[in-house]
Amino acid sequence: MRVVATILFISLLFSCKNKSEEGVQKNNVTAKTIEDIVNKAKDSLIYPEEKHFKSLRQVTFGGDNAEAYWSFDDKQLVFQSNYKGWGMECDQMFLMDASESFKDSKPPMISTGKGRTTCAYFLPDNEHFVYGSTHLVDENCPEVPLRKNGAYVWPVYDSFDIFVADLEGNITQQLTNEPGYDAEATVSPMGDKIVFTSTRSGDLELYTMNLDGSDVNQITDELGYDGGAFFSPDGTKLIFRASRPKTPEAIKKYKDLLAEGLVEPTEMELFVCNADGSDLRQLTNLGNANWCPFFLPSGDKVLFSSNFEAERGFPFNLYLIDLDGKNLERVTHGETFDAFPVFSNDGKHLAFSSNRYNGGGRDTNLFIAEWQD
């Protein structure tokens, strides 16, 4: 329906095409505006309001596909999928060239195919990546509880550890071996540090380490789930999402769930700090779930997913916000789910996951947009 409405609008514009350029300018419609509208009408994956998308390409076509991260040279991406059409029972890691899509083909799997995996991220050599996996404890897929006492929950498996592998899927190093959850690793654009989430302190906190697993430092220490952290483009800051239970009831609920290896991710805000944990401050105070933040290449804005405008949990859309918490701007205008935004290192493209154009089902697919400010 959005595309039909756009085409009708374009027809109205072009019915006035014989009018003078002055008349067009009086109506505040420039040649570039018309060109943008025409291009978006041709590209049916873009909703008319999505002005930051110059083009949009669908990459996957089934299953749950998420957390697509670019190589340092922007030539490849690694992502996780549980697509049964590819023989998956739970999330495994896949490799793709930046120009590929997989409507009638399958990308190469570069994890072991054992256990469950999460959060892969390229290392600076473009030939290795880090990721979390449960395969050392059990080669089978772990159960995935999604509800606890009627509430939506995420599992936080104690069996997750962080590994390094090459692009053939061979594990070359194990970076963590502490008891408890170690996952959600991402790499600094400076190529010197990894940030990750761990329960080694008894709570879900952020830590940094060198690329070889040495020099581990705890970054956060406040009760709540600190996770999904990313470095700023210059490596000096971290952006992440966190829950902060405050009342006795909320604190008890959080601790009881964590003791069962669960968290309830329905109330989260964004926080920013220096890479050593100093100058920690809350960036958003929007309510509901604000998560998967990622710095723009300029370093002065953050793109994130949120359902703060939703009354019943959905939709999730992408939003921009300045680092001082001002100038909140809605970027996507879907009616279901847009999340996991990640910019290419050159800032020209954005990979994200979406439920748009999935035939009305629950599949979450990867999309790559050509970005424009």
- Residue owning tokens 């962080």: 162
pLDDT at 309: 95
User: For residue 192, what pLDDT band results from cuts at 50, 70 and 90?
Assistant: very high
Indicate whether 2 pLDDT > 50. no
Indicate whether 34 pLDDT > 70. no
Indicate whether 107 pLDDT > 60. yes
Indicate whether 110 pLDDT > 50. yes
pLDDT at 22: 35
Q: How far apart are CA 210 and CA 217, in angstroms?
A: 10
Indicate whether 133 pLDDT > 60. yes
Phi and psi, residue 171, nearest 5°: -70, 125
At what angle are helices 2-15 and 31-42 packed, to 10 degrees?
Answer: 140
Question: pLDDT of 358-370, one tens digit each?
Answer: 988 899 999 999 9
Q: What is the mean pLDDT of the chain?
A: 90
- Strand 301-306: give its sheet, edge to edge: 290-295, 301-306, 317-322, 329-330
Tokens of 174: 């194990």
Q: How far apart are CA 165 and CA 172, in angstroms?
A: 5
User: Are the beta carbons of 371 and 350 closer than 8 angstroms?
Assistant: yes
pLDDT exceeding 90 applies to what percent of the chain?
83
pLDDT at 359: 86
Domains of the chain (ranges plus CATH)? 1-42 (no CATH), 53-371 (2.120.10.30)
Question: pLDDT of 210-250, one tens digit each?
Answer: 999 999 999 999 999 999 999 999 999 999 999 999 999 99
| Tally of CB atoms within 10 A around 16 | 11
CA distances in angstroms from 160 to 120, 157, 183, 215, listed in the order given: 13, 6, 6, 20
Question: pLDDT of 242-276, one tens digit each?
Answer: 999 999 999 999 999 999 999 999 999 999 999 99
Which carries the bigger pLDDT value, residue 193 or residue 144? 193
Closest CA to 13 of 44, 48, 47: 48
pLDDT at 4: 33
Cα–chain center distance at 106: 22
pLDDT at 30: 58
pLDDT at 31: 57
Question: pLDDT of 332-359, one tens digit each?
Answer: 999 999 999 999 999 999 999 999 999 8
Question: pLDDT of 288-333, one tens digit each?
Answer: 999 999 999 999 999 999 999 998 888 999 999 999 999 999 999 9
pLDDT at 75: 98
pTM: 0.88
- Residue owning tokens 């549980």: 82
Which carries the bigger pLDDT value, residue 38 or residue 233? 233
Question: pLDDT of 46-102, one tens digit each?
Answer: 999 999 999 999 999 999 999 999 999 999 999 999 999 999 999 999 999 999 999
pLDDT at 6: 34
User: For residue 19, what pLDDT band results from cuts at 50, 70 and 90?
Assistant: very low
Phi and psi, residue 294, nearest 5°: -150, 135
Indicate whether 26 pLDDT > 90. no
Closest CA to 371 of 328, 320, 312: 320
